[in-house]
Structure 1
Amino acid sequence: AYLQKLISLEKQPYFYLVAVRCLCSLLDAAPHFNHRESLLASVVKNLSSSNDVARKLCSEAIRSLFRNEGKHRGEATVEAVRLVSASVKLNDCQLHPDVVEVCLSLKFDEDLGKDESKEEKLKPKKNKRYQNRDVTKPSEKKKIKKELLSKARQEVHADLRAVSFTLDPKEKKMIQRETLAALFETYFRILKHSMNTSNSRYKATSVFPGGSHPLLAPCLEGLGKFSHLIDLDFMSELIACLKKLSGYTDHQGEIPPDNTLSVSERLQCCIVAFKVWRSNLEALNVDLQDFFVQFYNLILEYRPDRDHGEVLADALKTLLWEGKQQDMLRAAAFIKRLATFALSFGSTEAIAALITLRHLLQKNTKCRNMLENDAGGGSLSSLVAKYDPEAKDPYLSGALATVLWELSLLQKHHDETVSGMASNILSMANLNATQNPVQLSSSNPLEAYKDLSMGRELSKPTHKVSQTLKCKRKRRSKEFVALSTDVLEKADCTVGEDELREKLQSHFAVLRGISENERLRTELNHALSSINMYKEYKKQKKASKKSKKAAKA
């Protein structure tokens, strides 16, 4: 009855927040509630609420449900993930990102069942001498005792499992498999929906953040987090889907279709593809050159006021910083493009690009010839004799034929960290191939981006409001001056009594006229209403007389 009352109050706007708060508190306190299904359905439905407070309450309740699986033995987790999957399917992936972002709090134990197998392997084998011996058959009484003992032990174990919150490893593994299946079903549905609508002319308008694909960003983040749990049979299909979503076209020179995905979302597709590949120990026989080509082109499409710089820094870290040594031609193309990029954008993006550039120069020592400032360009020859800055393929850019003249300009950057990093990179030209410059920082591009952006926020002035208030007060003090009594007495402000009397009489005459008009209007309305009532009374009286005459006849 209490739950039904809360669900009914939830529909009323006045009691909406109170009802949602009570539902979330009930789910958090008693997840083993008998009517948990309806309770979970109500909380999951409000994950996509337009009310920020209600949405945060529901998100925290679901996250605490995922964290405290001991209260419900993991069964509520499966139900919640299935409800999320059903909600995504029902609403055609047009929900608030918090609906899918909640699933990032899930935890999966990969070591379940390993202890039993190890124990079986470590069990000592019986000696062959004792195996060949004739064992006397036990008597019937001993058999009966053993059977009774085994039954009693089984009953005790069953009672302990029913009372205790801990699950059997096999049961826990089965529950986690069901949860994982429902989770990946949701992720793949979002990917397919985004893939079907990204290249279409129809662009759905969504009220949720993220445009026409509000669930794609948390979906890609979840795939990157749980990529090591994806079955190998689906890897090739997933990579092909990510390649299509990133906007890559197989034919060179072909104009790509209008992609509704943002640059940040396409960068995330590249990041997830590399995370999936590396999480499986690079065992997949997949060529990721297409993602390098797409990332090479996406760097030029980045805009700091529109896209997320943190995603770009993560892409630099995942694709260029981590992993194996890059090919020389590809590394040279990215070095040149990152130098141009650092010169064109702000300090945070520039420091992430320069740190990646320095890392590539350290790994590819032959590319250090690009630091030479000769008139003829770099001293290394490649297939392309002239640098093409508009080339879409890094192998066809001819970056080895040019020099990094952008670094000399970046040395004069207003930000000390950027100018110092540019000077540090230029010092590599005077070093041997085996030597590396003194590192100013050992952080990766993502960490450097976060540190610099945080430092810029902390360095902002905090007393702007007080300063503006002081300025306003000064202006007011200058504009308004309090006059003394002497000045007022000396001022010529004499007015004739006749003029003053006439003005006052006219003013009060107007006021009397207004009040008189209001009184007359009220009396007129009262008279009209009484006349109308009298007319209605007459009509009713005539109608009653006619009805009486008709009844007598």
Structure 2
Amino acid sequence: MGPFTAVKRRRLSPPEPEDGTSAVNAEQQFYKRTSKWNLEQDYEQPPRKNKSLDSGKLPIRTAEGWVEQEKENVPAENDVDSFSGSGEEEEQDEDMEVEDDEPKLSHRQQVVQAKEDLAKLASLVNEDPEEHLGSLKAIAQIASSTNTTVKKLALATQCAVYQDLIPGYRIRPASDEEMTAKLSKEVRKLRNYEQALVGGYQLYVRELESLVKGGKKTSDPTLAFVALSCACQLLKAVPHFNFRGELMQMIVSKLSSKKMDEDYTRCLRTIENLFQDDDDGHPSLDAVTLLTKMIKAKNYHVHESVLNTFLHLRLLIEFSYKGSNQTVDRLEKEDEEPRLKNGKEKKVFLTKRERKMRKERKVVEKEMKEADAEVSHEERDRLQSEMLKLVFATYFRILKAKTAPLTGAVLEGLARYSHLINQDFFGDILEALKELITDAISTDEDEEEEQEDQAEDITRNPTRESLLCVVTAFALLQGQDVTKSATTLHLDLKFFITHLYRTLYPAALNADIELGPKSYHLPDPLSGSSSLVQPTNKVNAQTTTVLLIRCLSSVLLPATSIRSVPPLRIAAFTKQLLTASLHLPEKSCLAMLALLNSTTKVHGKKVAALWNTEERRGDGVFDALRGEVEGSNPFAATVWEGEILRLHFCPKVREAVRVVEGNVGEVI
């Protein structure tokens, strides 16, 4: 061993005491020291080691549980510089990182979360709209989700919220001067709230419009269904508010299609309810204007239900003037003050102070009316007169165009509006009806050629169309005030009466006289088809028997001047109806005998000679096939059809014949 070598010493533990008391004391001292330790602080001081933090990304929650993301290999600076020329790859990498940072939830979890968020936001808006108006933007952001179900829920939530928030008046856009003017704190707060509400509502309506227009292009057409439902609901609930025209445009564009689906029916019911519940008049005028423009743009190739919406307008029961497609006559009011002979009103002397007070009072009354949103009777009459002109113009253009599918709807509408038609317009309508009857007769004669030339697959029924024209002509005449216009109204309905007289025999021999457009009947046994056949006629919902009874009632039992019906006409129709009753089915025969019962009660003396075989009032021979009423010579014949009808298989028919003969026997 050298002199500088360290001496190795043996390490020995201290000798333990023999009695063992020192070890116990050492343990107690150890516990005393540990009781003073701050374990939580010591735990926080050492650095944490977490794989997710080492990788730089948080764990992702999936359907299977929490999954830790792996650490990506970050390229070195040289590697980055080598790929610096491709900027697109760098952008794609950044997008991928952003997508990975977002938690991926399942479809069901997204829907549940969206329901909770929409419920919270909607409740906040309903509690205090002015303070939580920003929640509407949050709901709009949820509506921009790519999840279709979430988007539908957000659209429906916006519709419900806006229905509650929209006030009962229309918000006028504020000008620049009004925005810069000095206002109180409350007024400025209310104005900002109104402008924000209108802005959010406008964006929502535009979103609905884009979804409705792009319904066919999107992969999920149910979005367009929900958007159109929201538009219909808003138009029904708040027709007075802003952007009413955009909502109507969406609904009217749907009505322009010929596809009768659920959306079409909903839009149709919305327009009808709008016409019935409109107290203002402006929404109805806007809807009528859009409908007439759409019908004209489609060249009158629309479904007849669109025209039937005009029958729900309130001017049918409220409007008291008469008009046409160009002008509307104004009647003098009963409460109007009488004028002097020179046409000037009697002036009342007022002092300067009284004139000033009167002027100020008018200004205050005008402001009060605007504040209360009251619609004066003059303004309502003006709006309804504009609607009446638009409706009559559409009806008359369709009659001139001779559009077969819409003929029934137009004639029915003219019959309903008969009490509102001006006398100057009455003659033009009758001429158009005569042309329709002439066209129906030519169509009946050349039916096969006409069906080949028709562009649409629609089977016309000339008999029904001609009967509708006759019904409309007599309804228009009854709608006029004959007592006041007896000197100016000179109209001859002989053409329609003659055509009705010629139609009796062909109509009685028609096997489908009791079938309507929705009735089913057995197929032709020679056609080889075994399925039930539904008529394709779409002229009118009434059966041919009902139309025939309506026409005959107008001729034989008019509402006014019953005594003016000539006896020759009554006798000719009575003879023809009894002959036609022999060929009619049971129900139609009963209806015809009921009409004859009413006729014999009123005109019993005029037709009593037909049942008296011993007395003849006419010379010559009765011609049943004569096309003219006057040339048939009905008083030269006798009623022998009653003897055959007494042997009818139906007991009700036999009883009805006895009642008719009893009415005549009382007169004889």
Closer, same or farther: CA 24–393 of 1 in aligned 2, 3 Å: same
**Match of 2:588?**
349
What secondary structure, in the 3-state scheme, does the structure 2 residue paired with 1:243 have? helix
Instruction: Select 2:311's aligned residue among 104, 108, 112.
Output: 104
**Match of 1:55?**
264
**d(CA) in 1 for partners of 2:594 and 2:576?**
13
The alpha-carbon deviation at position 294 of structure 1 amounts to 0.6
Aligned-partner residue type, residue 94 of structure 1: H
On the 8 A contact 1:247/1:294 being kept in 2, the answer is no
The alpha-carbon deviation at position 185 of structure 1 amounts to 0.5
What secondary structure, in the 3-state scheme, does the structure 2 residue paired with 1:369 have? helix
On the 8 A contact 1:328/1:364 being kept in 2, the answer is no
**Match of 1:515?**
none
| 2:567 paired with 1:365 | no
Q: Which runs of 5+ in 2 are unaligned?
A: 1-202, 322-329, 341-346, 451-459, 517-542
Instruction: Select 2:657's aligned residue among 389, 408, 422.
Output: 422
**d(CA) in 2 for partners of 1:422 and 1:149?**
78
On the 8 A contact 2:419/2:480 being kept in 1, the answer is yes
Closer, same or farther: CA 92–317 of 1 in aligned 2, 3 Å: same
The alpha-carbon deviation at position 74 of structure 1 amounts to 0.6
**d(CA) in 2 for partners of 1:115 and 1:26?**
40
**d(CA) in 2 for partners of 1:242 and 1:114?**
29
Q: Comparing both structures, which one devotes a greater share of its residues to helix?
A: 1
Aligned-partner residue type, residue 551 of structure 2: A
Q: Give CA-to-partner distance per residue, 1:395-443, whole Å, 9 cap, x none.
A: 222222222222222223343332211111122453234xxxxxxxxxx
**d(CA) in 2 for partners of 1:29 and 1:279?**
36
Q: Give CA-to-partner distance per residue, 1:178-228, whole Å, 9 cap, x none.
A: 11110101110111111xxxxxxxxxxxxxxxxx62222121111111112
On the 8 A contact 2:440/2:465 being kept in 1, the answer is no
**Match of 1:478?**
none
Instruction: Select 1:411's aligned residue among 630, 646, 649.
Output: 646
**d(CA) in 1 for partners of 2:587 and 2:371?**
55
On the 8 A contact 2:256/2:294 being kept in 1, the answer is no
On the 8 A contact 1:27/1:40 being kept in 2, the answer is yes
Q: Which runs of 5+ in 1 are unaligned?
A: 124-130, 195-211, 434-553
**d(CA) in 1 for partners of 2:260 and 2:309?**
17
**Match of 2:556?**
320
What secondary structure, in the 3-state scheme, does the structure 1 residue paired with 2:300 have? coil
**Match of 2:405?**
214
What secondary structure, in the 3-state scheme, does the structure 1 residue paired with 2:270 have? helix
On the 8 A contact 1:370/1:402 being kept in 2, the answer is yes
Instruction: Select 2:390's aligned residue among 154, 174, 182.
Output: 182
**d(CA) in 1 for partners of 2:632 and 2:401?**
35
On the 8 A contact 1:371/1:404 being kept in 2, the answer is yes
Closer, same or farther: CA 249–368 of 1 in aligned 2, 3 Å: farther
**Match of 1:118?**
335
Which residues of 2 match residues 216-235 of structure 1 at below 5 A? 216-235=407-426
After alignment, is 393-402 or 14-23 more displaced? 14-23
The alpha-carbon deviation at position 287 of structure 1 amounts to 1.1
| 2:297 paired with 1:90 | yes
**Match of 1:45?**
253
The alpha-carbon deviation at position 387 of structure 1 amounts to 2.2
Closer, same or farther: CA 346–234 of 1 in aligned 2, 3 Å: same
| 2:480 paired with 1:263 | no
On the 8 A contact 2:604/2:667 being kept in 1, the answer is no
**d(CA) in 1 for partners of 2:466 and 2:583?**
21
**Match of 1:379?**
616
**Match of 1:331?**
570
Which residues of 2 match residues 96-495 of structure 1 at below 5 A? 96-108=303-315, 109-110=318-319, 117-121=334-338, 138=351, 143=352, 145-146=353-354, 149-194=357-402, 213-247=404-438, 262-282=462-482, 283=486, 284-302=489-507, 303=510, 304=513, 305=515, 307-323=543-559, 324-325=562-563, 326-362=565-601, 363-372=603-612, 379-382=616-619, 385-433=620-668
**d(CA) in 1 for partners of 2:208 and 2:643?**
67
On the 8 A contact 2:608/2:667 being kept in 1, the answer is no
**Match of 1:203?**
none
On the 8 A contact 2:440/2:466 being kept in 1, the answer is no
Aligned-partner residue type, residue 358 of structure 1: N
On the 8 A contact 2:597/2:663 being kept in 1, the answer is no
The alpha-carbon deviation at position 114 of structure 1 amounts to 7.5
Q: Give CA-to-partner distance per residue, 1:245-272, whole Å, 9 cap, x none.
A: 123899xx9x977685532221111111
**d(CA) in 2 for partners of 1:147 and 1:335?**
72
On the 8 A contact 1:48/1:55 being kept in 2, the answer is no
Closer, same or farther: CA 160–263 of 1 in aligned 2, 3 Å: farther
- Alpha-carbon RMSD across the aligned residues, in angstroms, is 3.2
The alpha-carbon deviation at position 285 of structure 1 amounts to 0.5
Aligned-partner residue type, residue 554 of structure 2: T
Aligned-partner residue type, residue 588 of structure 2: E
Closer, same or farther: CA 157–301 of 1 in aligned 2, 3 Å: farther
The alpha-carbon deviation at position 165 of structure 1 amounts to 4.1
On the 8 A contact 2:255/2:306 being kept in 1, the answer is yes
Q: Give CA-to-partner distance per residue, 1:139-159, whole Å, 9 cap, x none.
A: xxxx3x545533432332222
Aligned-partner residue type, residue 642 of structure 2: L
What secondary structure, in the 3-state scheme, does the structure 1 residue paired with 2:390 have? helix
TM-score by length of 1: 0.64
Larger radius of gyration: 2
Closer, same or farther: CA 402–19 of 1 in aligned 2, 3 Å: farther
**d(CA) in 2 for partners of 1:249 and 1:39?**
41
| Matched residue count | 392
What secondary structure, in the 3-state scheme, does the structure 2 residue paired with 1:412 have? coil
**d(CA) in 1 for partners of 2:651 and 2:227?**
54
**Match of 2:132?**
none
Aligned-partner residue type, residue 239 of structure 2: P
**Match of 2:125?**
none
On the 8 A contact 1:369/1:379 being kept in 2, the answer is yes
**d(CA) in 1 for partners of 2:506 and 2:286?**
42
**Match of 1:458?**
none
Instruction: Select 1:75's aligned residue among 282, 287, 302.
Output: 282
Between 1 and 2, higher relative CO (CA 8 Å, sep ≥ 6) is seen in 1
On the 8 A contact 2:228/2:263 being kept in 1, the answer is yes
The alpha-carbon deviation at position 343 of structure 1 amounts to 1.8
Closer, same or farther: CA 426–172 of 1 in aligned 2, 3 Å: same
Instruction: Select 1:21's aligned residue among 189, 210, 229.
Output: 229
Closer, same or farther: CA 117–281 of 1 in aligned 2, 3 Å: closer
**d(CA) in 1 for partners of 2:642 and 2:439?**
31
Closer, same or farther: CA 157–149 of 1 in aligned 2, 3 Å: same
The alpha-carbon deviation at position 233 of structure 1 amounts to 1.6
**d(CA) in 1 for partners of 2:506 and 2:265?**
34
